[in-house]
Amino acid sequence: MRLLSRVADRLYWTGRYMERAEGIARLTQAYTHLVMDIPQGSELGWDILIKILDAGPAFESRYKVYSEQNVLYFLIADEKNPGSIFQSVTAARSNVRTTRDVLPQEVWEQVNELYLYTQEFAEKSVGRRNRHRFLDRIQARCQAISGHNMSTMCRDNAYRFMLLGQLLERADMTTRIIDVGAGTLLDSERHNVSMDPLIWGALLQGLSAMSTYRRQVGPLPEAAQVVNFLFNEATLPRSLKFCLNGMRTELGQLKNHTAAVRHVERARRRLARFDTKATDWDALHPFIDRIQIDLNNLSDCISESWFLPTER
């Protein structure tokens, strides 16, 4: 099936934005739970969320304090933050609106409903009282849409580009969620060793991977094992390896894929070489940074290979 370059571009970004909305919802929800579990006196700061999303400058340009209210507003409802749930959904909707002709009919209706829901409730859901329900709904709706695509779309290029966007964004989000774990452990004053399992448990929850972890690894989430699991478990849909393998498979089926495949292979080799026993911030953070750079380069390469207009 033929696919316009411009449409491929928008589908790819639809995949990314939908996954981003869901990812931010997961991340904020997991972190909120974690904060509630931590005993008084060793509170976690909200700044970590901003830090792992590399959103420090954008945040600080408009907010003075890393308060719960400010950080959550920034992540959930802020129209000026391109990474907020509200903006991701808005961007996904405008992409779907211009690619409706290649998507299943219901997808537009569902994305439009998600947008209307977000528009109505995002701002009201910054406070703890409504937050959980809102984040739950966002995740459920995003999953319903992605499930709909998965069960109705032909495995053609349209599907492929959306999936690539989704996998790339997910790989990125998984590394960031691991970064939260490492980040909370960074500050030794805040840190209390007995909290470790709580932190890693919350992060596994955030990736819907807790019960799989228990069955495959064991009941107590422990740093090195969790990191290894989230990085390398090839059967776990949100592991870094799963996402990279998935992209490798999809890219291989496109014409003119040499350059993009080279980028994904670089990331796969980097992951294979990484020593997952080194779970302290000093080792983990630079690695995650480099993987994120690999992912950025891959995204640029996808854009150059298939989206930019070229006359041959």
Contacts with another protein by CB under 8 A lie at: 2-8, 94, 97-98, 100-101, 105, 108-109, 112-113, 116, 157, 161, 254-255, 306, 309-312
Least Å from the CB of residue 254 to another protein:
7
Least Å from the CB of residue 292 to another protein:
26
CB atoms within 10 A of CB 5: 14
CB nearer to another protein: pick between 63 and 117? 117
CB nearer to another protein: pick between 156 and 289? 156
Least Å from the CB of residue 82 to another protein:
19
Which of 237, 231, 264 shows the shortest CA–CA distance to 249? 264
CB atoms within 10 A of CB 37: 13
Least Å from the CB of residue 231 to another protein:
31
CB nearer to another protein: pick between 113 and 123? 113
Q: What whole-number distance in Å separates Cα of residue 192 and Cα of residue 10?
A: 45
102 neighbors 7 (Cβ within 8 angstroms): yes
Amino acid at 14: T
Least Å from the CB of residue 114 to another protein:
11
CB nearer to another protein: pick between 161 and 274? 161
Least Å from the CB of residue 83 to another protein:
23
For the stretch 253-272, what's the b/e string if a residue is b when 16 or more beta carbons lie within 10 angstroms of its beta carbon? ebeebeebbebbeebbeebe
CB nearer to another protein: pick between 52 and 158? 158
CB nearer to another protein: pick between 6 and 62? 6
Least Å from the CB of residue 15 to another protein:
15
CB nearer to another protein: pick between 117 and 281? 117
Q: What whole-number distance in Å separates Cα of residue 142 and Cα of residue 148?
A: 10
Q: What whole-number distance in Å separates Cα of residue 175 and Cα of residue 147?
A: 23
Q: What whole-number distance in Å separates Cα of residue 24 and Cα of residue 12?
A: 18
For the stretch 162-185, what's the b/e string if a residue is b when 16 or more beta carbons lie within 10 angstroms of its beta carbon? bbbbbbbbbbbbbbbbbbbbbbbb
